[in-house]
Amino acid sequence: MIENFKLSAKGGSASGGKIAIFYDWLNQWGGAERVLLDILSLYPEADLYTLTYDSKKTSWLPTKNIVFSQNLPNKIFYTPFYAGKLEHLDFSSYDILISTTSTVGHCFLTQPRTLFLCYFHNINRYLYQNPPHILKPLLKKYQSIDRIYAERPDFLFCNSKTVQDRISAQYHRPATIIYPGIDLDKFVPTPKPSNDYFLIVSRLVPHKNIDLVIKAFEKLNLKLKIVGAGREEKYLHCLASDNKNIEFLGNVDESELVKLYQNCQGLIHPQEEDFGLSPLEAEACGRGVLAYNRGGATETVANHQSGLLFENQDITSLRQALISYLESPPNPSSCRLQAKKFDRQLFMLNFKKQVQNLWQKHCQTISQ
């Protein structure tokens, strides 16, 4: 087990340091929230800041850490107001501010003595990747402001090569990759999997492309189970209403999720993800992954070893991939081996080491 890490103003390991952690929205559960829990386990005494906190949707969270929440709505057109609120927060009493973000967590203003580290799960998707058409002119102007915000952290981390490239292209800054990990003691293979359905584990939102999979399964005698919830749930239910082989399970607890991974024929991952933990969880359970050949999946799925990457986000490409996958499914041991490269303990060790080294260098700089 990784030891808790406490800082001193002298850069040692004795107690005395004070850490603040920021996370955008505490109102759901997903891969980024798993990473937040890992960071909190490294710094259990840290104060936690957020834009929104919903206790009904965050039973997984140790609430004793929360010291600031504005309960602001999660809406793209409020982004400038989020930044305006956050940059007025005072972190002068903290040694380190660790922001883990995909929206505005890089906008804080900090004093020179405070080390400001920003871990990007992505840069703002709706600002750079999928801007709403009607807001494009306004968002274009805001990009120049956002790039000023991106100069404020002392160092940048990110979760994948995909996000590292986006940071380089938009912010013109280097970012160190620290891959998130999964709990290999929880996600394990089962000796006799049933292998009678394909699986999707995802939030049901437009950019996840779940509708593509539903359409691809039309007229195919294959079962599909879909885990997750989101604003596209009603639309997807309607789309799949004539296909009795498609089952929506909603959100499930972790023990049930493990069983679903263990017994599926494979996980289908049709979106371009920033990183994505669900392919790794499936691989850790000895199951292969059918994934779109873009984004984080290109870093977590070994093509023709732990899964199959398809080239186009269309029905034909996905159906052809399904046929090829069924003809030559990946070896469970190869899947498990791939997942072992992304052990949760490796993430925590790497994160702790990076923070420790940067803190020591920071102390030397401010003492000069």
Q: What is the CATH number of the domain that holds 124?
A: 3.40.50
Query: Which residue range forms the structural domain that includes residue 284?
Result: 198-342
pTM (2 d.p.):
0.88
Counting the structural domains of the chain, the total is 2
The whole-number pLDDT of residue 9 equals 36
| pLDDT tens, residue by residue, 69-118 | 766 665 656 677 788 888 889 999 999 999 999 999 999 999 999 999 99
Average pLDDT on 219-229 reads 94
Q: Is residue 188 part of a domain?
A: no
For residues 167 and 203, state if they share a domain: no
Beta bridge partners of 23: 50, 100
Regarding predicted confidence, which is higher, 73 or 262? 262
Q: Is residue 3 part of a domain?
A: no
The whole-number pLDDT of residue 73 equals 62
For residues 276 and 290, state if they share a domain: yes
Q: Is residue 293 part of a domain?
A: yes
Q: Is residue 192 part of a domain?
A: no
Average pLDDT on 20-31 reads 89
| pLDDT tens, residue by residue, 321-365 | 999 999 999 999 999 999 999 999 999 999 999 999 999 999 998
CA distances from 216 to 65, 127, 228, 261 (A): 45, 30, 19, 21
The whole-number pLDDT of residue 108 equals 96
Regarding predicted confidence, which is higher, 131 or 165? 165
Q: Is residue 242 part of a domain?
A: yes
Q: Which residues contact 229 (CB under 8 A, 6 or more apart)?
A: 203, 204, 250, 251
The whole-number pLDDT of residue 268 equals 98
| Longest CA–CA separation in the chain, Å | 70
- Compute the mean pLDDT over every residue in the chain, rounded to the nearest whole number: 90
Phi, psi (deg, nearest 5) at residue 207: -75, -5
The whole-number pLDDT of residue 74 equals 59
Residue 36 has pLDDT above 90, yes or no: yes
Average pLDDT on 193-218 reads 94
Residue 246 has pLDDT above 80, yes or no: yes
Look at residue 153 and give its three-state secondary structure.
coil
| pLDDT tens, residue by residue, 285-294 | 999 999 999 9
Q: Which of 53-67, 103-117, 294-308 has the lowest mean pLDDT?
A: 53-67
